[in-house]
Structure 1
Amino acid sequence: MLTFRTIKSLTESLRGYRAAGLRVGFVPTMGFLHAGHRALIVESVARCDITVVSIFVNPTQFGPNEDLDRYPRALEQDHALCRNAGVSLIFVPDAGEIYPPGFQTTIEPGPVAEPLCGAIRPGHFRGVATVVTKLFHIVQPEVAFFGQKDFQQCTVIRQLVRDLNLPVEIVTVPTVREPDGLALSSRNSYLSPVDRQRARCLSQGLLAAQAAYGQGERDSGRLIAIARAQMTEVDQLQYLELRDARTLEAAHGIVEQPAALCVAASVGATRLIDNVLLIPPPTALSDHELELVSHALDRQATASANEPRPS
């Protein structure tokens, strides 16, 4: 496994792999890697000849009062996880390498970036879209891997790739959860033991709504109410919304198309996000969507089988 800190050294190395006709997979991260990131890497290693992981805490996606300075970092542990998971190359640039003096150009995402986290974190997805576009141009992967936990981010990036004709396949890997259901996140490290227990109510609510959907409930209002009823221990529920899984438009009435039930909440001083997919019988989906749905359902089934059962 090789580590690069400059764009020039990375692109020179990748030129050789590409000349050999190797398929490049890319996993962009902000570091402090956990099992959720490992799932992305494992997927890339399985699909591609070489896997590149970037570790870069991107300053342009943080607001003025957010946690840029205290965002958790553990580069030595990140290297160990990458090495053990089969990563070929790691790219660890500093901010000046990505945003050199005089940098001015940004990518402004469209309406998919406006609701949910976009409404609460102005400019966040502009920073995401800009850094992802830059990283795609630097690495030039055939495939890039993102986690479903950041569902709106995945939607923004898919739209970005379509709109700018970027030759990158985007693969979304289902959320990896702790045994009690909490979605894995680098920011979970902020939670005190008490807050960590309280945070479980987010996934409990989402999974309760997903179970009700699986049992035939299709009314959007009732599905949201089922989830909300479980989320009583958070300090602030920023949003709990049902959105069309393709467009992020609000889903009202009877849920007949794939939808994402998305939540953001504060538990103590920590902001957490999570979501679940509500997927109808897949007869009307495209081949690509069928693959994603099948993959998601497989992961959900495995997670359910591993859940601790009451004695």
Structure 2
Amino acid sequence: MRPFNYHRASSVKDALAIAGAKSNVKFIAGGTNLLDLMKLEIETPMHLVDIADTDLDEITTTSAGGLRIGALVSNTDLAANKTIRQHYQVLSRALLAGASGQLRNKATTGGNLLQRTRCPYFYDTNQACNKRVPGSGCSALEGFNRNHAILGTSDRCIATHPSDMAVAMRVLDAQVEVKAANGDTRMIAMENFHTLPGDTPHIENTLKAGEMITAVALPPPIDGVHVYQKIRDRASYAFALVSVAAIIPKSGTAQFAFGGLAHKPWRDKTAEKELLKGSKAFTDALLKTASTTEHNKFKVTLVERTVAAILAQAEEAKA
């Protein structure tokens, strides 16, 4: 691990002031991903700002009838929250499908959104990776890429985003609240928060330098069947081959978001309109731009079967 300066912020204002005055700054809360990357010298911040003492650990209702989730709310506390369990079940289920109990105790809402890909070529500093070293190449393209993306890929990167929570946030149309050093606050829709690789896979989100996630806002709850289905190689502590977050309302169009398919949580609202024609029409529209390899082409069939099973499950629940 390379040397760095450690700052313990006493408030959000203090943390942002430090970030505004320094260069190459990272905020740290639970540290469940960042510390591992620092040990591998993939992340090399000069300044580490600890925000554990800031007041971002509350879940409150909004005037619109939704929820505001502080960036420091742990994954465990969020999954166990009574309102989340009763009215945002897809989110609770997604959180409980992620990592282990010990990690969920430390992992935070803001940090979960910012975790980086688990692509093995990204973690192996002996391999070429445009995400780690821009312009160096992508070893995954011709390597073993069974777990890699089939949607929104580029010739620079086929990594996937690892978060379960973010997939549920995407299907819920959440908004990410961020604050800058000058005090300005802006809201970023989840669909716009994470970016596709294109020619710049090292740019993973739309945060500006010095900005910090302070909360995530959820809209009013949607009644209906909430499902989070995670297909993985083992029953726990494994990242998704394919994950599906779905909300099937009592009336109206169902909402689907997917993990394990792209560089960001994937939702296609145009394809969702095809659900009126059935599961196959939806997945055909969803996957029409899929770019697969010999190793990961099975994901197409896996998505088709998982969506069909979820819709059948929803029909049984409605009956």
Q: Is the pair's TM-score, using the shorter chain for normalization, greater than 0.5?
A: no
Output the TM-score relative to the length of structure 2: 0.30
TM-score (norm 1): 0.31
- More helix by percentage: 1
